[in-house]
Chains A and B, each alone.
Chain A
Amino acid sequence: MKNHFNKFLVFSLVSASILIGSCKTSFDEIKYNDGDADFSRVIAVGSNHFAGYSDKALYREAQSASIPVLLSERFALVGGGAFKQPLVNPGVGLGVNGNSKFILTSQTTSCGNGTYYVPVAAADSGDASNTTWLGNSSVFNNLAVPGTRMADITSQSYGDPSPFLGNPLYARFASSPGTSTISGDALLTVPSFFMIWLGMEDIYEYALSGGDESNTNITASNEFIAGFSDLLNSLTSQDATGIIVNIPLPSSIPFFAAIPYNGLYLTATEAAELNLLYATVDPSIQFTQGYNRYVIADSSTSTGRRQILPGEMILLSIPQDSLRCFGLGRTVPISGNYVLTAAEVSNITNKVIEYNSLIASQCNSRELALADISNYLNSLKQNIVFNGVNYSTEYLEGGVFSTDGYNLSQRGSALVANEMLKVINSFYNAKIPLIDVNQYPGIVFP
């Protein structure tokens, strides 16, 4: 009897000591590594998204969450070096048009039928102190400049401080304004790793204006890729590796996709009234109760107008108040600068696909990582969840794009940065932790 009791006692004591020994709630540290990549000197070349341009301006908070900065913070865990970017002063920031950042407001319509969200400038103008030259203080790692097209990276005049000659947002940190070029400045750090996102503004400057060819044109694909190839030649000449980001489609960008082509909601009475009006003007324009296609300007028709077709797009820049209260889209045709016609959409989409195909071959032949953000943002048309928060490309509620509908929000930057990290981890056999997207501020609602 005593024997059995002793055995039980021993068992209890042994278990107790094992238990008490494991009485802690902390974890062992995870070991990360950079794999085949070298993050000691990282540079970024790009335009809006890489510069941290958001809400129509370059401002401190969004810059601090720019994709290259988010990535460099992660790279620091695996031996990455310092990453300098030309920060603007805290405050309203500075946009490409000398404007301040925009903030979301809620407005009541002038005809009193509801409220709508519209971003409004935080101040009359941007903070001009941000044009103070910083290029003599440091060599910068983030060479991304809002509004930059492929041709601009080799242009000396792009760094001219005069907004008529160059881009003040590059001039402010160019190593030698008026003489240096972005591609030249990119080599100053002797980069070991580069990230590139170019081509956005080559295509979208045209799209943002509603496809106004008199003003701006999409860079021809062969010109684009020639410039790209030259840049890659100079960057890879010293054994640097890198990651390239491709171009998203307009349907995944809320600036183009937020307002549905048939967003015109009419009651039975309103529809009947409009049909009566149009019966004499243009009977091919018809309305019914429910959702209808907007009326847009078309100089090729006899009446100078027609109804928009599925696949054509209405831009977010359209005055909401006029849409709701002053007959815009019903009796007043929507002008071309707020519309992308089928031909324009087709032009843009084809160029995006062409650019992306050329970018993919460059990555393939040079053995560089490709972040297919085009595919990623397209997939975000469907909701995804991150640590309990929903994200999609829907305007405002989706949280990925900022209030201007075109530039990424801080959380959107983090999501894209995570996709790039996944590619880097896989392509370069690295083990780098992803970013906690939700810790960055979401869209602030008024």
Chain B
Amino acid sequence: MLFKTLPELLSLTFDCTDCRPKFVGMKLFHTIRDILVILILTVTPVSMMAGGFQSNFNGARSAAMGGAFAPVATGSGSVFDNPGAMTFQELSSVSLGAAFRLPATSFLSPYSGNFDSEKSMRAGLLFSGLYKINEKSAAGISVNTPFASYIKWSDDWTGKYIAIESTTRTICLQPTYSYRVSESFGVGGGPVIGLSRNFLSKAISYSSSSGPMIGEFEGKATSYGFALGLYLASGEDFKMALTYRSSMKVNIQNGEATLTNVPSSLTGLYPSPTDFTSEYQLPNVISAGVAYQLTRDLMLSVQLDYTGWKVYDEVKYSFDKAFDLSFTEEKNYKNTMALKFGARYHLNDKIEVMGGVGFDNSPVPDDAVLPNNPDNDRFLLSLGGTIRFTEAISLDAGWQLENYKEREVNNTSMQFSGSYKTISNNFGLALNYEF
């Protein structure tokens, strides 16, 4: 049903018999727009997705619009979603909020039945600030967590020798500068500082009289990258966006491993605590999007995200003083594409309602799925909006459902097979102050 509506929606853009390029960039603009539309139409059918452990909730307003926010990029959310749009905002603003995730995963083992992951709520800070220096330039900062994954299984579950609890998250701080190149064209960009934390706990093969050894591996790292954004606004109706977030290398130099239940005859081989190093690469993301003001009150947006997950091929844990502990998690992720649609409806002066749907593919191949991150293709559904209290103060709220397809896997390196099913309910709130 979607694919019948889409061409219909987009055909509106072609019903423009008296359209003529009004200024210099317009002809180029039309060409790019047409290419983008064709791209979307040809890519739509089967494989698309970004998935992995990327967060689909990077701002309350952007999440409410299904993440198709790069071409919309209003408020201080533009700092993260499209730095090129920062100078197009009327006022400076500050936004403070939080995003909450409630994931739930079940695993069906062919040997021992059903296991449910522990229900927990994960919270992340959403902060952005945008300052209009003058008509031509703006500066801003964004703080959010574009990479986040958390799961906890029971201590005794069937996959305990692979993972019991796993956390991986990178908080990104992005100071940004934006410049208005022309009436309809803006660019922006800035460095990204990533603060990563990785935690893994699992059972280790040898047992003492109190049970198997348990290892807890905690590592932190700071990584660097950059973000760029281009924003093209043709009149009031059409907006286009192209953004790029670079890959970042997470290099854990001083990870600490703590082991419990170590048999006393093995403390030489398994000292505790002991150091480890680990490293992995976070992917780059290219996004292209289009937003169209369909009517005075309704805007629609569509966005394609291409994530270079191929760089995430393995995570090796190396131990200098406990060589026997060394292990490698084979990831073998593949590059992916995600397709997102958003809508924003201006109900009245106080309320704007938003919604969106998205299709997010998984970068993880069937033979490499691990219980640390039981990823699969997902369907995203979002609802939310903005309530304006005063001229300066407004509240963004968004709710997002991530419905992962059921997945039967056999991880060949660990010989761990079964079926996973995940659902995540996410929501966020942000309070905005414009000045």
Contacts and interface: CB of A to CB of B under 8 A. Distances in A.
A445 B207 contact: yes
Contacts of B110: 433-434
Contacts of B406: 27
B423 A4 contact: no
A27 B421 contact: yes
Nearest to A106: B265
B167 interface: no
Given A115-B265, A386-B415, A388-B159, A436 B111 contact: yes
B205 A390 contact: yes
Contacts of A115: 265
Contacts of B16: none
B166 to A, nearest CB: 13
Contacts of A387: 158-159, 161-162, 414-416
B191 interface: no
Contact of A8 (B111, B208, B343, B381): B343
A26 B420 CA distance: 9
A438 B355 contact: no
A388 B202 CA distance: 10
A115 B401 CA distance: 58
B31 interface: no
Nearest to B300: A8
A434 B206 CA distance: 23
Contacts of A24: 423
Given A25-B116, A25-B421, A27-B106, A434 B205 contact: no
A147 to B, nearest CB: 29
B264 A388 contact: no
B1 interface: yes
A439 B265 contact: no
Interface stretch (B2-10, B79-87, B173-181): B2-10
Contacts of B263: 444-446
Interface string A12-35: 101110011011111100000000
A436 B109 contact: yes
Interface residues of A, number: 41
Nearest to B206: A445
A444 B208 contact: yes
A27 B422 CA distance: 11
A164 interface: no
Given A12-B355, A385-B414, A433-B110, A438 B158 contact: yes
Interface string B377-421: 001010000000000000000000101001000000111100101
A389 interface: yes
Most buried by A among B263, B266, B413: B263
B265 A117 contact: yes
Interface string B241-257: 00000000000000000
A117 B206 CA distance: 14
A445 B8 CA distance: 69
A26 B416 contact: no
B5 A8 contact: yes
B101 to A, nearest CB: 15
B209 interface: yes
B415 A384 contact: yes
Interface in A1-60: 1, 4-5, 7-8, 11-12, 14-16, 19-20, 22-27
Contacts of B421: 25-27
B112 A436 contact: yes
B326 interface: no
A7 B8 contact: yes
A435 interface: yes
Contacts of A390: 205
Contacts of A385: 413-415
A8 B160 CA distance: 45
B108 interface: yes
Interface in B279-301: 294-295, 298, 300
Nearest to A435: B111
Nearest to A441: B207
Given A8-B300, A20-B401, A386-B415, 19 more contacts: A1-B294, A4-B294, A5-B294, A5-B295, A8-B5, A8-B9, A11-B2, A12-B357, A12-B381, A19-B381, A22-B403, A25-B106, A25-B421, A27-B114, A387-B161, A390-B205, A434-B110, A441-B207, A444-B208
8 contacts: A7-B8, A15-B381, A19-B381, A25-B106, A434-B111, A436-B158, A444-B207, A446-B264
Interface of A: 1, 4-5, 7-8, 11-12, 14-16, 19-20, 22-27, 106, 115, 117, 384-390, 399, 433-436, 438-439, 441-446
In the A-B complex, the 5 residue pairs with the closest CB atoms: A445-B263, A388-B161, A106-B265, A436-B111, A25-B106
